[in-house]
């Protein structure tokens, strides 16, 4: 990858926590000044102290700060910023933010508003994938009502899964193994989707019973040039939320891996995709088939494992591409080596059904050493507020082999000390020690159907 710094400019970071600090440091290493927009709850945090300047957007509640696009762009303009990085979550996949940036002459470090809309609507994304000849499960367009759903499900064949057209994260998802289950859950799924996304439109797909979640990291130049940075296996999930991610996906054969990469590149090249994105697939371990799920039009939480095996700095790559410091990247320059695993450190108590645990961290002592990286904005004394996502850090390890990476992760978790609040570290240790994880015989339902029941027994519940 060419080592070229972006043109002189000032970056506005519209996010918080570890991704804000990660982006600040990446930009400063390229010689950019950084302004961080924060809520009142984050005004004294590590990110605010690391940025060249910090502005308070509003009160702690996200709707009045991190989710107010007009306020964010106004702050970027008034502080003389020439570019804006949205991070992940919050407004990162809202076309409105990219449009406001364009209106004010600010470079949005991400896809065009048109691409965000194309891939953000799941039904539109399925049509896009179909046109690009990317494999998909049997599925439908928008479902009108429960009677229509039952008719379509009968044609597809049970089991089926409902999905929200306007968003992901498990909201609006219901697995139905027969007509009774679908009829009983459909209206609630519509309501859940409407509450989460303001749009209750659902579609239906055939449900793959034993599957892995595999995704491909890509960067597009906006002119049809798309490069992949390998794939990730994100099958350790609880309620559709990822907990552990790996790169590469060791379950894949070289032939399947090649076809997967080609499909992801072909899909995003077909819409002249710009900047970083991820194409997600379900992988059927029985048939070795993969099926398109969705596109995430942003940098992902789990991007560090791709960085660990390629040596690329994906956030810097985003900044270089957005600011015109580079025109694109070449596939021949991307190479992978070794195996990387990321474990999300979450301020939730697995002993109490994962209840969020905000509070003051009285001791923070993360692991360090060869092949260990910790992305966080937390330190001893940090107050974890109750207003945002519970993830407080990402522990990333890299080894020459998957076995070495697992051993390194197990040791790093043993060395990770967090006091003052409960975290999921005890559960992560159990996962990493489990024979199914070590032998790589897990699937997307393994955590909830195998590991958590055993964990509850261990806890005496």
Structure tokens at 436: 């199914």
Per-residue burial over 302-314, b = 16 or more CB atoms within 10 Å of its CB, e = otherwise? bbbbbbbbbebbb
DSSP character at residue 458: H
Burial class of residue 408 (count of CB atoms within 10 Å of its CB; 0-12, 13-18, 19+): buried
Q: Which of 94, 238, 298, 344 is catalytic?
A: 298
- Are the C-beta atoms of residues 443 and 235 closer than 8 Å to each other? yes
Structure tokens at 97: 């933010």
Angle at 225 between CA 224 and CA 229, to 5 degrees: 135
- Are the C-beta atoms of residues 168 and 152 closer than 8 Å to each other? no
In terms of Cα–Cα distance, which of 237, 238, 304, 292 is closest to 260? Answer: 292
- Are the C-beta atoms of residues 364 and 379 closer than 8 Å to each other? yes
Residue owning tokens 């970056």: 11
Q: How many C-beta atoms lie closer than 10 Å to residue 177's C-beta?
A: 12
Residue owning tokens 């009968």: 154
Report how far residue 224's alpha carbon sits from residue 203's, in angstroms, rounded to the nearest whole number: 29
Tell me the angle at which helices 95-103 and 69-78 cross, rounded to the nearest 10 degrees. Answer: 30
Beta pairing partners, 161: 175, 205
Could you tell me the strand order of the sheet in which 289-296 lies? 289-296, 274-284, 211-221, 226-238, 241-247, 339-346, 391-399, 372-376
Strands 211-221 and 226-238: antiparallel
In terms of Cα–Cα distance, which of 159, 267, 252 is closest to 214? Answer: 252
Per-residue burial over 199-237, b = 16 or more CB atoms within 10 Å of its CB, e = otherwise? ebbbbbbbbbeebbbbbbbbbbbbeebbbbbbbbbbbbb
Q: How many C-beta atoms lie closer than 10 Å to residue 279's C-beta?
A: 30
Report how far residue 324's alpha carbon sits from residue 238's, in angstroms, rounded to the nearest whole number: 39
298 is catalytic: yes
**What DSSP element (H or E) covers 279?**
strand 274-284
C-alpha atoms less than 13 angstroms from C-alpha of 221 in its C-beta half-sphere: 13
* Residues designated catalytic: 298
């Amino acid at each position: 990858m060419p080592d070229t710094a972006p043109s002189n400019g000032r970056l506005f970071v519209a996010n918080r926590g570890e991704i804000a600090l990660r982006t600040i440091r990446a930009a400063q290493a390229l010689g950019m000044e950084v302004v961080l927009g924060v809520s009142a709850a984050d005004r004294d945090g590590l990110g605010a102290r690391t940025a060249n300047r910090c502005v308070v957007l509003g009160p702690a509640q996200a709707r009045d700060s991190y989710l107010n696009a007009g306020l964010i762009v106004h702050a970027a303009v008034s502080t003389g910023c020439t570019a804006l990085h949205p991070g992940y979550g919050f407004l990162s996949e809202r076309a409105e933010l990219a449009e406001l940036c364009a209106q004010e002459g600010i470079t949005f470090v991400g896809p065009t508003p048109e691409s965000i809309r194309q891939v953000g609507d799941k039904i539109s994304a399925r049509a896009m994938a179909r046109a690009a000849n990317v494999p998909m499960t049997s599925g439908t367009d928008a479902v009108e009502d429960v009677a229509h759903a039952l008719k379509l499900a009968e044609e597809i064949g049970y089991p089926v899964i409902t999905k929200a057209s306007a968003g992901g994260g498990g909201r609006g998802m219901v697995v139905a193994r027969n007509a009774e289950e679908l009829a009983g859950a459909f209206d609630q799924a519509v309501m859940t989707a409407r509450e989460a996304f303001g749009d209750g439109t659902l579609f239906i797909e055939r449900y793959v019973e034993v599957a892995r979640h595999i995704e491909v990291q890509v960067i597009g130049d906006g002119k049809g040039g798309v490069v992949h940075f390998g794939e990730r296996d994100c099958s350790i999930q609880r309620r559709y939320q990822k907990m552990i991610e790996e790169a590469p996906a060791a379950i894949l054969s070289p032939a399947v891996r090649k076809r997967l990469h080609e499909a992801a590149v072909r899909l995003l090249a077909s819409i002249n995709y710009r900047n970083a994105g991820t194409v997600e697939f379900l992988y059927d371990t029985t048939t070795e088939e993969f099926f398109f799920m969705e596109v995430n039009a942003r940098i992902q939480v789990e991007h560090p494992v791709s960085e660990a095996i390629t040596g690329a700095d994906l956030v810097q790559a985003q900044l270089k591409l957005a600011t015109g410091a580079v025109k694109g990247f070449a596939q021949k320059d991307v190479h992978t080596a070794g195996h990387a695993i990321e474990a999300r450190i979450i301020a939730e108590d697995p002993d109490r059904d994962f209840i969020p645990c905000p509070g003051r961290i009285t001791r923070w002592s993360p692991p360090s050493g060869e092949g260990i990286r910790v992305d966080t904005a937390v330190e001893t004394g940090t107050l974890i507020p109750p207003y945002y996502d519970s993830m407080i850090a990402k522990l990333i390890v890299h080894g020459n082999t998957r076995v070495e990476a697992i051993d390194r992760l197990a040791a790093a978790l043993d060395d990770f000390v967090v006091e003052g609040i409960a975290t999921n570290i005890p559960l992560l240790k159990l996962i990493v020690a489990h024979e199914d994880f070590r032998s790589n015989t897990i699937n997307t339902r393994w955590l909830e159907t195998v590991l958590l029941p055993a964990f509850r027994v261990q806890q005496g519940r």
